[in-house]
Structure 1
């Protein structure tokens, strides 16, 4: 059927109403691997070789990570970066090329048409999708072509090793560093602003003072000093001795109603500092974990899972408040290795 509009003629399909008839699909031409089993085997070996070389390159990445010095150079580039980038990049490239070669030469070769459907799938559509996945697995030949399947599994498995190895570059392992601070027996307790060593008479009843080790003042400025200060910061509080519910093994940890606790919240490490004098509760402003300083620093509210670590204190020969020892447990947030 033809409509004339001036000099323009538009041809419409009498069946669908489209401006042009559906030309259809050209006749299907089989690939060499479809009709020649030797060609199919050769293609299979090519794909498996690519996956196998990718496996070796993945192992080469791990070897290069440990064997090539960080400061070595190659062709004007850093030898370590060159080796790591080259091995990992080529491994990914060969896996990609092998997958494309597999699809082009060995997987089923026929055209399909899928009509558009609504965004919400019916039960029938989902069942059809599962059937399509199973059909795809069957047509890919992954079950029949064990050489390709096994070499691909090996390449992908080894490719996970670089990911694991690269985790080492995230930084040094924490070890047991959080289990120790710079507090030592005899270390004086000083005001955290003036670094003035404190005596028992410097604290009034109900007062809370932020304090640090007096030895911190002698350390040079830098990251190590800041880390030491963050871990060793403490709260010094004075209360009525009758209000203190002493933990049995801590009877000698205080001085005349003065107790000392870590300032680092045991939830995620924020500094606790909001003190309620009447209840002897101290609050972490980050997530509202609340600790009872009159009862061993135990948690009375919030997400923290552990009591605030308590620092045992005493008075030295000159009348200054000093530590009896370091903390007897790790300070800071809970973690899986913490005992």
Structure 2
């Protein structure tokens, strides 16, 4: 005997299936649990105590920032101390790490404690809406923001507000202080070079760096590039590398009619021009010269200078022309300098004019 399965009565389901049948959609929004007030919501003394705790964290954060700066100034970078269980560590690094860590931690901890005890914790669900909001939604958001700001107590709890502002304002000073470690201040170290000893009454000879001997004008031929250093500087000197980094000179000879810059021509001698060898971009030594165009090229970043036109920059990242040295000859016919460069050598820095 056949049976129509479509009409067969299925047994009644039990358990969860029955519950689904009884309670409807299993994915229905259950809603939010009832809001339970915190102690600080109903006890003003507790709220005041929480306010003092948050403010104390912010005040200690400010003191830690001051301690960071004081440690940086007062502690010898070479001082080593024993800290259990770390062992022997740098006193300066330990002090800086601890003070900065405390300053940052307490700002975060204070903000969390403030939010958990004093700011409103009422959840406000909102249905999804299109990205572009209408005027009514915008007005509602602004009103919610104002309500949230009022409930946070930021304006009413002035002690928290002021200490938070103070701690947040002081913390960046830690980073500003650390900028000092970028290197020693240039002061006037880059303003003068070893050529400053030269005067018209007591000039300094130009010493060929290859032969270590003074040069005459005839030693410099058109199209050549010669490197020189000031008289009295020797390669075996203990501070030679430090001094040559500023004193290094390059000499070129250009037909006088090809020199475009009149000032440059006056500083030279019979077409011989003396320029700083130090690139004005980041201080690399210039060593490439193209005699047909009179262009000098820095090999580091390809800054190019026209030596026939006051060594002005014609390509690359260099910011200003190469400084030029005034030269002439002494009674023996040797090339000499009568003063320092017309401006500081090397890259730009804050204290220089340009």
Answer yes or no: same fold by TM over 0.5.
yes
Larger mean Cα displacement after TM superposition, 171-180 or 226-235: 226-235
Q: Report whether the alignment pairs 1:226 with 2:241.
A: yes
Q: Structure 1, unaligned stretches of length 5 or more?
A: none
What's the counterpart of residue 113 of structure 1?
125
CA distance in 2, matches of 1:13, 1:195: 104
The alpha-carbon deviation at position 249 of structure 1 amounts to 8.6
Query: 2:287 & 2:89 partners in 1: Cα distance?
Result: 51
Distance 1:67 1:273 in 2: 45
Give the direction of change, closer, same or farther, for the CA distance of 1:279–1:26 in structure 2 (3 Å limit).
closer
Q: Residue in 2 aligned with 1:254?
A: 268
Q: CA deviation at 1:237?
A: 0.7
Residue 146 of structure 1, CA deviation: 1.1
Deviation at 1:303, TM superposition (A): 4.9
CA distance in 1, matches of 2:311, 2:98: 55
Pair member with larger Rg: 2
C-alpha distance 133-169 of structure 1, shift in aligned 2 (>3 A): farther
Match of 1:236 among 219, 233, 251: 251
Is this contact kept in 2: 1:233–1:262, CA < 8 A? yes
Q: Which residue in 1 is equivalent to 2:6?
A: none
Q: Does the C-alpha gap of structure 1 residues 15 and 290 become closer, same or farther in structure 2, counting only changes over 3 Å? A: farther
Q: 1:292 aligns with which of 278, 282, 306?
A: 306
Q: Which residue is 1:27 aligned to?
A: 34
CA deviation map 1:36-70 (0-9, x unaligned)? 12211121111112212222222222223333444
**1:99 corresponds to:** 111
| SS in structure 2 at match of 1:179 | coil
The list of structure 1 runs, each at least 4 consecutive aligned residues, that deviate by more than 6 angstroms after superposition, is 13-16
SS in 1 for 2:280: coil
- Specify whether residues 320 and 113 from structure 1 end up closer, same or farther in structure 2 by C-alpha distance, changes over 3 A only: same
Instruction: Tell me how far 1:307 sits from its aligned partner.
Output: 2.4
CA separation of 1:309 and 1:87: change in aligned 2, threshold 3 A: same
2:103 counterpart SS class = helix
Output aligned runs, 1:1-339, within 5 Å: 12=20, 18=26, 22-70=29-77, 71=79, 73=81, 75=83, 77-113=89-125, 121-124=131-134, 127=138, 133-183=145-195, 184-185=197-198, 186-213=203-230, 215-220=232-237, 224-245=239-260, 247-248=262-263, 251=266, 253-285=267-299, 288-301=302-315, 303-339=317-353
Deviation at 1:32, TM superposition (A): 0.8
Tell me the distance in 2 between the aligned counterparts of 1:173 and 1:13.
Answer: 80
- Compute the displacement of 1:316 (Å): 3.7
After superposition, the Cα gap between the structure-2 partners of 1:136 and 1:170, relative to the gap in structure 1 and judged at 3 Å, is farther
Taking a change above 3 Å as real, the CA distance of residues 169 and 129 of structure 1, as seen in their structure-2 partners, is farther
User: Aligned equivalents of 2:261 and 2:47: distance in 1?
Assistant: 81
Give the structure-2-normalised TM-score. 0.77
SS at match of 2:325: coil
Q: Distance in 1 between matches of 2:144 and 2:206?
A: 72
Matched-pair contact (CA < 8 Å) for 2:265–2:273: no
- Provide the aligned length of Structure 1 versus Structure 2: 330
Partners of 2:302 and 2:92 in 1: CA distance: 47
Distance 1:278 1:57, change over 3 A: closer
- 1:173 Cα shift? 0.8
Tell me the distance in 2 between the aligned counterparts of 1:102 and 1:225. 61
Task: Note the residue ranges of structure 2 that are not aligned, 5 or more in a row.
Answer: 1-9
Superposed displacement of residue 310, structure 1: 0.7
Question: Cα deviation per residue 1:122-165 (whole Å; 9 max; x = unaligned)?
Answer: 35599476665544433322111111101111112222332222
Alpha carbons 1:254, 1:313 under 8 Å: kept: yes
8 Å CA contact 1:195, 1:214 repeated in 2 = no
d(CA) in 2 for partners of 1:278, 1:84: 57
- What's the offset of the Cα at 1:30? 0.6
